[in-house]
Amino acid sequence: MEATVGTDSTRRAAAILVVLLGGAALWWLGGDGSGFAAGNGGSSATIVSGQMQTTGGNDPRLAGAHRFEDGGWIYVHLEGDPATVGFQHGYLLGSDIEDGFAAVSAGMMHESQRDWTFFRKAAHEMLWPKIDLEYQQELQGIVDGLRARTGSKLDVDDIVAMNAFEELPDYYVPWYNKQQNVAHAPNLKSPGNCSAFVATGSWTKDGKIVMAHNNWTNYANGERWRIVFDIAPKTGHRILMDGFPGVIASDDDFGINSDGLMVTETTITQFEGWDPDGKAEFVRARKALQYAGSIDEYTKIMLDGNNGGYANDWLLGDSKTGEIAQLELGLKAYKLWRTKNGAFAGSNWARDPKVIKADAPQFEPNNLETSPNARRARWDALLKENKGKIDVNLAEKMLGDHVDSYHQKPETNERTLCGHVDSSPRGVDVWGWTPYFPGGAVQAKATDSSMTKEMKMVARAGHPCGEDFLAKPFLAAHPEYAWQEPYLRDMKAGPWTEFHSGEAVASHK
Ligand SMILES: [Zn+2]
């Protein structure tokens, strides 16, 4: 509680400071007079915000960009060259980026027991030099847009470190601690994010591809992971993906592009390894979604400079050919399976013996009690049961499924496709999630070949089953997670909502 009071006072002090600084700036700009006219009797905060919005709002870089909210999601349309796309992103999601940064950076530091300087240094020295020029420009653009909107003090090292929030704490830090023989290093484990499948041929209702995914993460981050990005970049394909404020890749990875490629993934549990000379995963993943038009092209981009960060089983679909694929992307080994008639599921397990041996040696594929393997068994049963009937409607239901295959009964816990680890006395040890960890399925998306041709997807904010997570009673029952109190919010489920590229305003009420 003390920490909360402290944070609140700090916030209040910061808010007052902003008002004072804003007032000073208006006074300084004085001669123009409009600021004063607008200010009579109103609060200084309003003037400041109005002044900033007007200034930024007239910026030619914002032409064509827009934002609206629907179904619990924030939709942003971004277009232009990399710096412009970045500027629009930073400007339209300004306060969301600052809020997301606070939650993500607190989690990274708490878990790794490293201060923020450590992550800034890793971003600056290790990641930045290997980032393609266009993404360097986009990341700098985010900083510029953010500053124009909120006056933020965050710089490009902060934004790059935040973009790597899936790969620095759980892949780089354990590798670094081992290299440096760090004493009393925390037992960091790669995350287990998500339940997903892609199916095609005789498995689906119309014989074409269906792809679906729910994102598993801690609720503090997950509640903020509800941006729909519609990006029309100057080069490459148009992109529609879900994402996190301030991050250039989808990062839980669900996206489609205008060349008909469909992309999602789930993370490899107990993955170990990192290549400091490689290219950040968030850069490769964004690049692959923007430039790949086929399964082969996607694979090639992901392999180019593979750093081992955020190692995933990628589930891919090419709506032009009806072919689907699973790319199990380890660092030392990888494997690609592909078919025009079948289904690939993911729930954080690796299946190629070579990948398991080389990259996830502690993973036990036969331990059916664990979340990844229990969900694997459930996916197998559920997909077989519904063979020939699978469509987006059914996919939505599957993503909210509550059958624990190990207990053979309906429950909400860490073994269900729609995860609720906050109700599990076991937690998920293989990811380092302690009992009742506030994490699980935080949102979900689905699409199919026909929708992809029209650049459409459906998405649901919050638990895909529709249940709400409420922070206050949870924290009262589990004081061991009190450190999250400043960041952990209610995660209310929204309705399944359709989004498409080029949408100007919420059109599905
Ligand atoms: Zn659920």
DSSP, residue by residue, 121-182: HIIIIIIGGGS-HHHHHHHHHHHHHHHHHH-----HHHHHHHHTTTTIIIIIHHHHHHHTT-
Q: Please, is 103 exposed, middle or buried when counting C-beta atoms within 10 Å of its C-beta (0-12, 13-18, 19+)?
A: buried
Ligand 1 center to 280 CA (angstroms) = 32
Ligand 1 center to 465 CA (angstroms) = 4
Q: What is the pLDDT of residues 183-202, one digit of tens each?
A: 999 999 998 889 999 999 99
Ligand 1 center to 202 CA (angstroms) = 28
Q: What is residue 107's predicted lDDT score, i.e. its pLDDT?
A: 97
CA angle 183, 189, 191 (to 5 degrees): 150
Ligand 1 center to 32 CA (angstroms) = 56
Ligand 1 center to 368 CA (angstroms) = 20
Q: What is residue 274's predicted lDDT score, i.e. its pLDDT?
A: 98
The token pair that represents 168 in the structure block: 């620095």
> pLDDT over 70 for what percent of the chain?
88
Answer whether residue 6 shows pLDDT above 80: no
Q: What is residue 12's predicted lDDT score, i.e. its pLDDT?
A: 36
Ligand 1 center to 42 CA (angstroms) = 45
Ligand 1 center to 400 CA (angstroms) = 5
Q: What is the pLDDT of residues 392-436, one digit of tens each?
A: 999 999 999 999 999 999 999 999 999 999 999 999 999 999 999
Answer whether residue 508 shows pLDDT above 90: no
Q: What is residue 8's predicted lDDT score, i.e. its pLDDT?
A: 37
Sorting pLDDT into bands at 50, 70 and 90, what band is 101? very high
At 253, is the secondary structure helix, strand, or coil?
coil
Yes or no: say if 170 and 191 are a contact pair by the CB < 8 Å rule.
Answer: yes
**pLDDT-wise least confident of 44-48, 86-90, 193-197, 255-259:** 44-48
Ligand 1 center to 90 CA (angstroms) = 32
Ligand 1 center to 223 CA (angstroms) = 14
Ligand 1 center to 189 CA (angstroms) = 24
The token pair that represents 223 in the structure block: 């509640």
Answer whether residue 446 shows pLDDT above 80: yes
Report phi then psi at 387, rounded to 5.
Answer: -55, 130
At 269, is the secondary structure helix, strand, or coil?
coil
Average pLDDT over residues 256-274: 98
Model confidence, pTM: 0.89
CA–CA separation, 80 and 63 (whole Å) = 9
Average pLDDT over residues 441-468: 98
Sorting pLDDT into bands at 50, 70 and 90, what band is 58? confident
Ligand 1 center to 203 CA (angstroms) = 25
Ligand 1 center to 327 CA (angstroms) = 27
CA–CA separation, 159 and 142 (whole Å) = 8
Sorting pLDDT into bands at 50, 70 and 90, what band is 11? very low
DSSP assignment, residue 268?
P
- Closest to 314 in 3D by CA, of 290, 340, 334, 291: 334
Ligand 1 center to 382 CA (angstroms) = 16
Ligand 1 center to 193 CA (angstroms) = 15
Sorting pLDDT into bands at 50, 70 and 90, what band is 505? confident
- How far, CA to CA in Å, does 303 sit from each of 48, 325, 485? 47, 15, 39
Sorting pLDDT into bands at 50, 70 and 90, what band is 30? very low
Residue 507 makes CB contacts below 8 A (sequence gap 6+) with: none
Sorting pLDDT into bands at 50, 70 and 90, what band is 43? very low
Average pLDDT over residues 146-166: 98
Sorting pLDDT into bands at 50, 70 and 90, what band is 507? low
- Closest to 403 in 3D by CA, of 343, 350, 465: 465
Question: Which residue matches tokens 């109700």?
Answer: 423
Give one DSSP letter per residue of 294-346, joined into a string.
Answer: SHHHHHHHHHTTB--TT-EEEEEEETTTTEEEEEEE-SS-EEEEEESSEEEEE
Sorting pLDDT into bands at 50, 70 and 90, what band is 504? confident
Average pLDDT over residues 66-80: 98
At CB < 8 A and 24+ separation, what contacts does 475-484 make?
A: 477/436, 478/422, 478/436, 478/438, 480/434, 481/436, 481/437, 481/438, 482/1, 482/3, 483/3, 483/110, 484/218, 484/220, 484/438
- Closest to 323 in 3D by CA, of 238, 209, 214: 209
Ligand 1 center to 468 CA (angstroms) = 9
The token pair that represents 480 in the structure block: 């061991």
Q: What is the pLDDT of residues 305-356, one digit of tens each?
A: 999 999 999 999 999 999 999 999 999 999 999 999 999 999 999 999 999 9
Ligand 1 center to 215 CA (angstroms) = 12
Q: What is residue 447's predicted lDDT score, i.e. its pLDDT?
A: 98
Ligand 1 center to 187 CA (angstroms) = 29
- Work out the number of other CB atoms within 10 angstroms of the CB of residue 412: 20
Ligand 1 center to 413 CA (angstroms) = 8
CA–CA separation, 67 and 89 (whole Å) = 10
Ligand 1 center to 423 CA (angstroms) = 11
- Percentages helix, strand, coil for the chain (3-state, rounded to 5) are 45, 20, 35
Q: What is residue 56's predicted lDDT score, i.e. its pLDDT?
A: 59
At 481, is the secondary structure helix, strand, or coil?
helix
Ligand 1 center to 165 CA (angstroms) = 25
Ligand 1 center to 402 CA (angstroms) = 6
Ligand 1 center to 249 CA (angstroms) = 26
Ligand 1 center to 111 CA (angstroms) = 26
- How far, CA to CA in Å, does 271 sit from each of 216, 311, 426, 431, 490? 17, 7, 21, 10, 31
Ligand 1 center to 415 CA (angstroms) = 11
Ligand 1 center to 73 CA (angstroms) = 19
- How far, CA to CA in Å, does 85 sit from each of 88, 134, 280? 5, 10, 20
Ligand 1 center to 315 CA (angstroms) = 22
Give one DSSP letter per residue of 419-466, joined into a string.
Answer: -BGGG-TT-BGGGTB-TT-SEEEEEEEEEEHHHHHTTEEEEEES-TT-
Ligand 1 center to 493 CA (angstroms) = 10
Ligand 1 center to 469 CA (angstroms) = 10
Ligand 1 center to 418 CA (angstroms) = 4
Q: Strand pairing partners for 360? A: none
Ligand 1 center to 463 CA (angstroms) = 5
Ligand 1 center to 109 CA (angstroms) = 29
